[in-house]
Amino acid sequence: MVAVYAFNRAIVRRPARSAVLGLRSVDRGVPDVDALGEEHAAYIAALETLGVTVEVLPPLEEFPDSVFVEDPALVFSEGAILLRPGAPSRIGETAEIAPALRAAFGDVLDLPAPGFADGGDVLVMPEAVLIGLSARTDATGAADLVGRLERLGRRGRVVTPPAGVLHLKTGCSLLDDETMLATPVMAAAGLFPGFRIVETAPGEEAAANALRVNDAVLLGAGFPRTAERLTDLDFTVVTVKIDEVMKLDAGLSCMSLRWWAEA
């Protein structure tokens, strides 16, 4: 099986001008939509440079957070799962992303009502798929998702991340088959038995939502000490500016759905 961080296809959606109305739990300022568009374009370019063919969907003004395509769906080489995002303003994003997934995958499953699950709460690891309970992902949604994952040959495991994080992956990301990048708080939660954990540097917790893509780790720009920790461990780090993205409580995984498509 190819590594869970081997990707040759991705779907992204351009940010809408309505992104200024996107959900924000912490006020870090209103994002500048032009700068957000530039960050998004640079993100696409970074994926392409790493060997990923990117399908770019048009912006959706009626859904301010729809640039974060990771939340309404999950994708694997074996098929896709349409999710039910837990924020009322985002539930309609699933129907919007569905056509692109039906075109790309033979097998597209649905998460049934009434549960909710956001893709940001799902961390794909080599042996299991972690599903974090959160304000967006409830126990019913998580349990139903375990069943859907089984149908795609994947083992789901439900975990309870520390309180106060938006999504499981707000605080952690997979670096390789045995290494996890995590905030100190997430690292202390004991969610990753058997993994070597690299902690984000003090004050750089937002770096935790990194994205391993093929041979490189995409890391937000502006986290020099965390970048150094990764390069010291021989990871190839590619930095991407996400200042505007972070104002919307998001990071690098949130802006794409990624998978390995067999030729």
Amino acid at site 212: R
H/E stretch holding 102: helix 93-104
Q: Is 172 a catalytic residue?
A: no
Among the residue ranges 5-13, 72-80, 166-174, 184-192, the one whose residues contact ligand CIR (CB under 6 A): 166-174
Question: 251, 239, 83: which is closest to 167 by C-alpha?
Answer: 251
Between 20 and 231, name the residue whose CB sits nearer to ligand CIR: 20
**Active-site pick, 206, 252, 254, 255:** 254
What's the token pair of residue 4? 């869970």
Can you tell me the distance from the alpha carbon of 17 to that of 209, in angstroms, rounded to the nearest whole number?
Answer: 24
Instruction: List 179's β-bridge partners, or say none.
Output: 176, 196
Between 226 and 253, name the residue whose CB sits nearer to ligand CIR: 253
Q: Does 70 bind ligand CIR (CB under 6 A)?
A: yes
Interface with ligand CIR in residues 231-260 (CB under 6 A): 248-250, 253-254
Between 86 and 228, name the residue whose CB sits nearer to ligand CIR: 86
H/E stretch holding 37: helix 33-49
Closest approach, Cβ 19 to ligand CIR, in A, equals 9
Among 43, 63, 65, 173, binds ligand CIR (CB under 6 A): 65
Is position 248 annotated in a ligand binding site? yes
Is position 65 annotated in a ligand binding site? yes
Interface with ligand CIR in residues 118-137 (CB under 6 A): 119-120
Closest approach, Cβ 164 to ligand CIR, in A, equals 14
| DSSP helix/strand/coil, 258 | strand
What's the token pair of residue 159? 């975990």
DSSP secondary structure of 135-201: SSS-HHHHHHHHHHHHHTT--EEEE-PPTT-SSGGGSEEEEETTEEEE-HHHHTTT--TT-EEEEPP
Using CB under 6 A as the binding criterion, the count of chain residues that bind ligand CIR stands at 18
* Positions in the binding site for ligand CIR (CB under 6 A): 22-23, 65, 68, 70-71, 87, 90, 119-120, 167, 169-170, 248-250, 253-254
Annotated binding site for substrate: 23, 65, 70-71, 90, 136, 248
